[in-house]
Amino acid sequence: MLAGLTQHQLLVFLAVMRKTYGFNKKLDWVSNEQLSELTGILPHKCSAAKSVLVKRGIFIQSGRNIGINNVVSEWSTLPESGKKNKVYLKEVNLPESGKKSLPKSGKGTYPNQVNTKDKLTKDNIKPFSSENSGESSDQPENDLPVEKPDAAIQSGSRWGTAEDLTAAEWMFDMVKTIAPSARKPNFAGWANDIRLMRERDGRNHRDMCVLFRWACQDNFWSGNVLSPAKLRDKWTQLEINRN
């Protein structure tokens, strides 16, 4: 029954078994950090694997507690490929200013990198750190964490789904085309800002990535919009300038 699991899912399954049945418990709270220590997998990847196992009925969840569903007949099977299809974003054609395709809700792939139309110089790129102040989701998190079932990545109260995280990673790849020395950001914070744009502002992943790409290609905005937080803050101005 476990043959269809990915390596990450199998390791997380065994870790939860150890933390529950190993201590004569049916359910227990097992944090992503604990799973990471037991499996050697990054916490956000442990969270993603755990979410899949819950959705398939292999794990049962009650609040923050989790355990193994001992009714094997309730476990759902995987697609024929043996792996769950990742839901990313469809490719759509863009104007001549950039030939790479950008995401749209649905199944598809993100481009790994984008060629900018104009080469930028040191004079028109501000010093950049993805963890700089003034970008809300990259600031330290002091709240007690409450695990979100749909979270593929979470840090404190900041979290995002697998699609939000993929969009965040795509945006950082874009940033690196104009600022190669940019430091790796707090992806939980970036994914959180993308989630907020979806849930509160009514944006979709495609529109976010299209506008972010345009900003990265614009002579002025390329040095000013280098994170999802800035994209959200400047959205209206960017839309006006683009149109």
Instruction: Find the CATH number of the domain harbouring 60.
Output: 1.10.10.10
Asked, for residue 94, whether it belongs to a domain, the answer is: no
User: Per-residue pLDDT averaged across 226-242, rounded?
Assistant: 93
Full residue range of the structural domain in which residue 185 is found: 122-242
Residue 2, pLDDT score? 60
Predicted confidence (pLDDT) per residue in 91-120, tens digit: 444 444 444 445 554 444 444 444 444 444
Does residue 167 have a pLDDT over 80?
A: yes
Does residue 174 have a pLDDT over 70?
A: yes
Residue 80, pLDDT score? 41
Same-domain pairing of 68 and 126: no
Does residue 192 have a pLDDT over 90?
A: yes
Task: Fill in the DSSP letter of residue 45.
Answer: H
Asked, for residue 111, whether it belongs to a domain, the answer is: no
Task: Give the C-alpha distances (Å, rounded to integers) separating 184 from 97, 154, 189, 195, 234.
Answer: 27, 16, 12, 19, 22
Residue 103, pLDDT score? 54
Higher pLDDT, 132 or 158: 158
Bridge partner residues of 60 (DSSP):
67
Predicted confidence (pLDDT) per residue in 199-228, tens digit: 999 999 999 999 999 999 998 898 899 999
- Contact assessment for residue 230 and residue 129, using Cβ atoms and an 8 Å cutoff: no
Please count the structural domains in the chain.
Answer: 2
